[in-house]
């Protein structure tokens, strides 16, 4: 079984400050990890993914995430937050060793990011 935990329902940060949105995961094998962002009344937009290789992954809009296997974490970060970053952020995982060709993503419950001007 695979699962994702986003321990914070909401994160508030001042504009210009660094932001972190936390994610931990659980899989039996090795993970594929993803971050998506959801704006009101819009679908999920892909931000970045970790497949293999470098633990620091860079994505869209200046976001990056660091894969930490020992802590089973994949926290989303940005050095300087913008008001326009305010949205709902979802972490997702797939166990690439699940066998049986399962391609379903398991999502966390989401973290609402509010960037305060």
Partner 1 sequence: DTGVSQNPRHKITKRGQNVTFRCDPISEHNRLYWYRQTLGQGPEFLTYFQNEAQLEKSRLLSDRFSAERPKGSFSTLEIQRTEQGDSAMYLCASSPKEQGEYTDTQYFGPGTRLTVL
**Which residues of this protein are in contact with partner 1, per CB under 8 A?**
4, 32, 34, 36, 41-46, 49, 51, 90, 92, 94, 101-110
For partner 1, which is the closer residue by CB, 58 or 109?
Answer: 109
Q: Please state the closest distance from residue 54 (CB atom) to partner 1, in A.
A: 17
* Distance, CA of 113 to CA of 117 (rounded, Å): 13
21 neighbors 9 (Cβ within 8 angstroms): no
75 neighbors 64 (Cβ within 8 angstroms): no
Write phi, then psi, for 84 (nearest 5 degrees).
-70, -10
For partner 1, which is the closer residue by CB, 110 or 113?
Answer: 110
For partner 1, which is the closer residue by CB, 15 or 106?
Answer: 106
């Amino acid at each position: 079984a695979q699962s994702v935990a986003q321990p914070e329902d909401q994160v508030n940060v001042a504009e210009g400050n660094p932001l972190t949105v936390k994610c931990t995961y659980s899989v039996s094998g090795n993970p594929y990890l993803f971050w998506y962002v959801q704006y009101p009344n819009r679908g999920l937009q892909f931000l970045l993914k970790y497949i293999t290789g470098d633990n620091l992954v860079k994505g869209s809009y200046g976001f990056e995430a660091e894969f930490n296997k020992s802590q089973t974490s994949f926290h989303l970060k940005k050095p300087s937050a913008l008001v326009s970053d305010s949205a709902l952020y979802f972490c997702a995982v797939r166990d690439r060793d699940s066998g049986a060709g399962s391609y379903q993503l398991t999502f966390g419950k989401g973290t609402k990011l509010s960037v305060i001007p």
